[in-house]
Structure 1
Amino acid sequence: MSLREFVLSDRLSYRITRHFVFWFFWGGYFTITRLLNPMPLMATGQFPNFWKTVVETFFFLFPQTFIVYPALYFVLPKFVFKQKYVLAFCWFLVFYFVALTVHAIFLLYIPWAKMAWVPKANLFLTTTTFAQKIYFAYLGSVLGSITSLALAGCFKMFKHYYLKSLRNQQLQQENSDAQLRLLMAQVQPHFMFNTLNNIYSQAQEESPKSAKMIMALSHILRYILDEGKKDWVPLENELEMVVDYLNLEKIRYDNKLDLHYSFPNVEEITIAPLLLLPLVENCFKHGASKMIRKPWINIKAELKNQTFSMKLMNGKKRTSTLAENRIGTGIENVKRRLSLLYPNTHKLEIRDEDDVFVVDLRIELNSNYSIKHTPDEQLIFGYE
């Protein structure tokens, strides 16, 4: 086991060990500083007993967990990493007060008469009113809480931003590889689109239905070649491309397919390109194409604030294979891209039931609309 693997791994055994190591060293530092405190030496002429000091350290360390762990697993991931700093500060104050209260309760109800060797014992043995005891309890609770939170928070933030940097590097590498594969696949695009243009002109006279299919196919191909190599595209364009694909399949199935879809009107919001098409394609590949009688597909997309949701349902044969066998490369690529592009801001559920296959996607999208639009080409299938 390397140090890098120990620090970054999400394995449960490594995580438990990391926490143990953190509290061991922080508790050890806390114990040594209290053991070498000159005040007991000046009062008694000797240093405190080591094991008694360890017990005293426990009374300070255990309440600190009531602010450290809520901060690590709630405040940081839910608010700080999402740049919601005001809410993060408010929640921090709440948990800080909780931690101080727990520690104060410890200090109030410790049997100080049996622990006179603790430096704070005299404070609680000599105070007469309960209000004074509460005051000293809260005052004594402040010690070490912020320091332990700062140390644990630094480790958490280092891990978060380091993993984020690794994800960005991996994403850049995968995007470069994808663009290279795309360039390799672009064999004479001018020839391809000019040929489609000629076929379309011929088909308009002889087979209008085929002409419509060629039109839809050309739009999809142009979108894949032009938009597929970009980092972000307008959600509106992505949905239009999906509609072109659905219209193409609807023509192919004629009246045999029961297809219903609903997409929202969207403006000034972006999404990663070609993220939705594999999900839609999966409905046809593993659903409609496998059903002899009454194939059906239902697709509904919604956009609320910046949260985009899309639910895809398609009928299937009862004898279909299990979900893990049905999910092909396209879906796996979508999962991979979602984890890289939208970490912690997406949810993808896939359910394989007796008669229906359901895909439920939810993503928090980006509203920064900084994409430059290019003028429409003059040719129907023009490629530049």
Structure 2
Amino acid sequence: MWIVILLYYLSTSWQYEANKPFLLERILFKLILQIFTAYSFIKIIVPYLLKKSYKLLFVVASCVLLYTAYVLFITFRCFYLLPKYPEVYAYRPPLIFVQRITDYYTFLTNLPGYLFPIVILSIIDFYKKEKELATIIEQQRSNELSTLRNQLNPHFLFNTLNNLYSLTLMKSDKASEVIEKLSKILDYTLYSCNSNLVSLKSEVILLQNYIDLEKLRYGNRVQIQFNHSIEKNVLIAPLILLTFVENAFKHGVSQETIEAKIQINLFTDGDQILFKVINTKPTKTAIKSSKKEISIGLTNVKKQLNLLYKNKHQLKIDENCSSYSITLKIKINDL
């Protein structure tokens, strides 16, 4: 930037000034003053006065800095350039030091030359800090998402392995099916969810594998309907939907001693994804014991939605004495 400014000064004055050494010395000293002024403003005055809300001191210090630079330039001209190059000033107005430093009109006309580099550097510094801040925020967002995406309930994994152990002891044919479903779920959650968006159809397969495993676990204790109709090439953030299905089993089935019901609907409608989960509620005693866990699960998934789909989704929760339902809408065009 400073090289460009130097070349600009030289290009605009070179053809009009016959004495080239005088021109070079004059321009170089002015450039040094501009560098001093710009970095003093950005590195000292702004962080120590403006950012600490010393607004009056900031204004005073800025004016003093600019005026000091102006006085130093006049001093250089009067006591160095004038004695060294008298022939240059022979045909110019008299250069009187006191008169020049008190000529505030001339000071104001020279201000743009000092302010321009300050403005450019301030803009560069602002965008640099904004870029650094955006990088930090994105890193924090990625870290938070990585944590929140780890939603596969450890109890689910523990219980599935217990069921698998029981099936192997009984030499049941279902053992191989459990292994297959579980391996597909783990493979997907570990290796296929690293990108921000995945195919909605792959999420359907994940949900189906999860549901099949839970069917093997609960057997006749639960009735499940999973209805879905997906258009091609629809994308969604991974594991968002699984959290709601997992909660439906965890809080609607695991503590129910009779028969529980879960209905899951997943459709694409024009420019949005429509997802709804309805599950029956267990007895009042079980409800009380799981209220806190439901709240934590919802808090996590709401954080994910706000991070990924801020102002691009609608989440509606309905609850009555016998059932619990969530309805989620996500805009496809904004994915």
**TM score, norm. by length of structure 2:** 0.50
1:359 match: secondary structure: strand
Cα deviation, 1:168-207, whole Å, max 9, x if unaligned, reads 8645423135548999x9xxxxxxxxxx9xx99x96x932
Change (3 A) 1:263 1:169: farther
Aligned equivalent of 1:353, options 317, 320, 332: 320
Mapping 1:215-230, distance limit 5 Å? 215-230=180-195
Q: In 2 relative to 1, CA 169–262 (structure 1 residues): closer, same or farther, beyond 3 Å?
A: farther
C-alpha spacing 1:291/1:171, structure 2 compared with 1 (3 Å): farther
Q: Which has the larger radius of gyration?
A: 2
Give the secondary structure class of the aligned counterpart of 2:229: coil
SS in 2 for 1:343: coil
- The answer to whether the Cα contact below 8 Å between 1:171 and 1:340 also exists between their aligned partners in 2 is no
- 1:257 is aligned to 222
- 8 A Cα contact 1:347 1:361, kept in partner: yes
Going from structure 1 to structure 2, the CA distance change for 1:265 and 1:182 (only over 3 Å counts) comes to: closer
Q: Does 1:174 align with 2:179?
A: no
Name which of 363, 370, 383 aligns with 2:330: 363
Q: Does 1:284 align with 2:253?
A: no
Query: Aligned partners of 2:277 and 2:147: how far apart in 1?
Result: 31
1:327 paired residue among 262, 272, 294: 294
Contact 2:253 2:282 in 1 (8 A): no
Are positions 1:273 and 2:238 aligned together? Answer: yes
Name whichever of 348-357 and 173-182 sits farther off.
173-182
Aligned-partner Cα distance in 2 for 1:329–1:246: 22
Q: Unpaired segments of 5 or more residues in structure 2?
A: 1-129, 153-160
Superposed CA RMSD in Å reads 3.5
- State the Cα deviation string for residues 282-337 of structure 1 (Å, max 9, x = none): 00110011111111111111111220011111111241239963524332221111
CA contact (8 A) 2:148 2:300 kept: no
Distance in 1 between the 2:148 and 2:280 partners? Answer: 34
**Cα deviation, residue 211, structure 1:** 1.3
For residue 288 of structure 2, give the secondary structure of its aligned residue in structure 1. Answer: coil
Contact 1:322 1:352 in 2 (8 A): no
Q: Is the 8 A contact 1:235 1:271 kept in 2?
A: yes
Q: 1:182 to 1:275 in 2, by over 3 A?
A: closer
Q: Distance in 2 between the 1:344 and 1:327 partners?
A: 24
Q: 1:166 to 1:253 in 2, by over 3 A?
A: farther
Q: 1:242 & 1:352 partners in 2: Cα distance?
A: 23
CA distance in 2, matches of 1:182, 1:304: 26
Separation in structure 1 between the aligned mates of residue 329 and residue 149 of structure 2, nearest angstrom = 27
Q: Which residue of 1 aligns with 2:204?
A: 239
Which residue number in structure 2 is paired with residue 310 of structure 1? Answer: 275
